[in-house]
Chains A and B, each alone.
Chain A
């Protein structure tokens, strides 16, 4: 059951992450907005992270048949996802603390992990939790200012992902319990909530050659 839920979660995460990432990239190409560039990195990373873990499950299901994913592969997928969550949190940090600084807008800091695969997984999960909570809080604050339904849906999505991550972390204390399945369901709900406002926006591509010169970038 958990194996199936993990497969569904990671497949949904992969699809949602890549779709939102591509949408943000189209926006970045058309407008040159650095915010959209950071969202592109964030969601492509989230999508790839989920995709790697999904691939790990598929490899195990088809070839290895051990009933569990390779720890290193899982740590790699979670690490890439965390980079994505970091970029979402980073965009909010820039908005909140560096509203005018061009330097801080352009600089990104990538976290580096040099520990064993098991330790890395726990550390990454806790980092993901903190970044998701931060992103959710900032999004909810923006919702209170703008009262837009889409912002509420994204904030709820990030909040559910954070809560799912917390339950997954907590399930280490009670292995083989229903907690892990609950965490997966929470994460699936979070990803769907994250995708809802984006699904309403039309996706098409128009090129504006040399627009960057026009807006002074």
Chain B
């Protein structure tokens, strides 16, 4: 049986993917994020728009395609998300 991710987990996965992909590259493309976060294109577009408007992701200007980079606020959020994810894991629950 498949396990459904909660919205907050999807956001966490996207930010984690963006953080990993930002280390080596100057931002991650939507295709990279889709593959890394395992999410459909139709769903990720809306979430990315929201994350950019909240300042968790930054849109990077690129000649070929739209790219995204994790912001400092995004890194802080990801750190908090991991901490509280571990906290709920300790109780045998998912965040």
Contact = CB atoms under 8 A, between A and B. Distances in A.
A210 B10 CA distance: 17
Contacts of A197: 90
B2 to A, nearest CB: 11
B50 interface: yes
A contact patch SS: helix
Interface residues of B, number: 29
Given A23-B87, A202-B83, A208-B73, A35 B53 contact: no
Contact of A30 (B6, B10, B77): B77
A127 interface: no
Most buried by A among B83, B84, B87, B90: B90
B42 interface: no
Nearest to A154: B90
A88 B84 CA distance: 16
B61 interface: no
A141 B92 contact: yes
Contact of A33 (B4, B51, B83, B95): B95
Contact of A201 (B73, B83, B91, B92): B83
B92 A143 contact: yes
A215 B11 contact: yes
Interface string A105-134: 000000000000000000000000000000
A175 interface: no
A32 B8 contact: yes
Contact of B91 (A91, A100, A214): A91
A30 B80 contact: yes
Interface of A: 23-24, 27, 30-33, 35-36, 39, 88, 91-92, 95, 99-100, 138-143, 146, 148, 150-151, 153-155, 197-198, 201-202, 206, 208, 210-211, 213-217
Contacts of B8: 31-33, 215
Interface string B79-95: 01101101111111111
Given A201-B83, A208-B77, A146 B89 contact: yes
Contacts of A39: 88, 91, 93
B21 interface: no
A46 to B, nearest CB: 13
B93 A91 contact: yes
Contacts of A208: 54, 56, 73, 77
A151 B92 CA distance: 6
The 7 residue pairs across chains A and B that have the minimum distance between CB atoms: A142-B92, A27-B84, A150-B90, A214-B50, A139-B92, A214-B54, A197-B90
